[in-house]
Amino acid sequence: MPNILIVGAGQLGSRHLQGAVQSELALNIVVVDPSSDSLAVAKSRAEEIELGNPKTAVEYINAVSQGSEFDVVIIATTANIRYRVFKDLVDACQIKNVVFEKVLFQKAAEYELAESLLRENNIKAWVNCPRRQNATYQSLLSLVENETSFDMTVSGNSWGLACNGIHFVDLFAYLSGTTEITLFPKLCDKSVMESKRSGFYEVLGTIECKSSNDKNMILSCDDGDSISVNVEIRTPNFTILIQETAGKLTIERNGERVETQFKAVFQSQLTHVLIEDIIKTQSCKLTTFSDSKSLHVPFINTIKTHLENSLNKQFEACPIT
């Protein structure tokens, strides 16, 4: 049976576990976390889900054994320790495929180091920006991929420009068909907030993105009591509005307006598909590490510079996750 390792049993890791146990494949799943309390929560969440295959087994441990072999590793730790965790795993285990959570790493140098480890150990890697797995965005790609230009806007309140902005930079790259993207911070609010995760920061404001093939995107996040996210795409031929929070998709074309449902897909509904794709085809719909590195490095540098200017202090790493 394929061996699956989920590193980190927190909020996101436990959702990956809920997804993994739904796989039609019989899997040996290992969940590792130094916190026994986190493992207990992950176990209780997994037990809420019916197994996709009755032969699937799940083990909960505090440390991985030297010499272990894994077909797929999902690293769902916070960004500040993710590279170190990955390196320790590579030193201790045999790994075929790895899926990293975002934000990938906090230091630009770690992207180069990780890429070297992947290459030297012949490990395939992807980064979990899962809007590429969403059927709505897949269908929209077929609409916009032949457009010579488009303007995309992501707006709303309290959606997390620092911690979640890379999701939309990745979506922009997916829809525009290139990772050659330049970021320009504009009108960034000087107020910096502590993230809900201790030791990390969140920001408000606007970031402009321009692709090498004449596509544009504005990321804009304001303060608000509740979270809202809207994605608008304007081309010479049509306008698309995705109200993610409200669950609505509107397309205006040739004077006609069609409104349908937008269905958000949660991580617990995606991970089994991800694992099955990798096991069966040695690939998946997520962004490759190489492509995501091209998007992540300018993004974390942009946020890091803004934090340093706003807080009047220097950071060795970009304190977001």
Domain around 70? 3-128+269-285
Residue 163 lies in a domain: yes
Instruction: Tell me: do 277 and 256 sit in the same domain.
Output: no
Residue 219 has pLDDT above 90, yes or no: yes
The half-sphere exposure of 32 on its side-chain side, counting CA atoms within 13 A, is 17
pLDDT in tens, 264-293: 999 999 999 999 999 999 999 999 999 999
Q: In terms of domains, do 142 and 258 share one?
A: yes
Confidence bin at 198 (pLDDT 50/70/90): confident
**With pLDDT > 90 as the criterion, what percentage of the chain qualifies?**
93
Any domain includes 202: yes
Could you give the number of structural domains in the chain? 2
The helix/strand/coil state of 222 is strand
List phi, psi (to 5°) of 127: -120, 135
129 burial via Cβ count (<10 Å: 0-12, 13-18, 19+): buried
Average pLDDT, stretch 252-266? 95
Q: Are 74 and 48 in contact (CB under 8 A)?
A: no
Which DSSP helix (H) or strand (E) runs through 169? helix 161-176
Is residue 157 domain-shared with residue 303, that is, in the same domain? yes
Q: Is residue 316 part of a domain?
A: no
**Residue 16 in tokens:** 């990956």
Please state the rounded mean pLDDT for residues 305-316: 92
Burial of 190-205, coded b for 16+ CB within 10 Å and e otherwise, reads: eebeebebeebbbbbb
Helix (H, G, I), strand (E, B) or coil at 167: helix
SS3 sequence, 258-284? EEEECCCCCHHHCHHHHHHHHHHHCCC
For residue 113, pLDDT beyond 80:
yes
Look up residue 221 and give its two tokens.
């996040």
Residues 170 and 213 in one domain: yes
Compute the distance between CA of residue 98 and CA of residue 108 in angstroms, rounded to an integer: 19
Do 47 and 101 fall into the same domain? Answer: yes
Shared domain for 280 and 144, answered yes or no, is no
- CATH code, domain with 188: 3.30.360.10
Question: Which residues lie below 8 Å from residue 161, measured CB to CB, with a gap of 6+?
Answer: 202, 203, 204, 205, 207, 219, 221
What per-residue confidence (pLDDT) applies to 197?
A: 74
pTM of structure? 0.96
What confidence tier does 188 reach under pLDDT thresholds 50, 70, 90? low
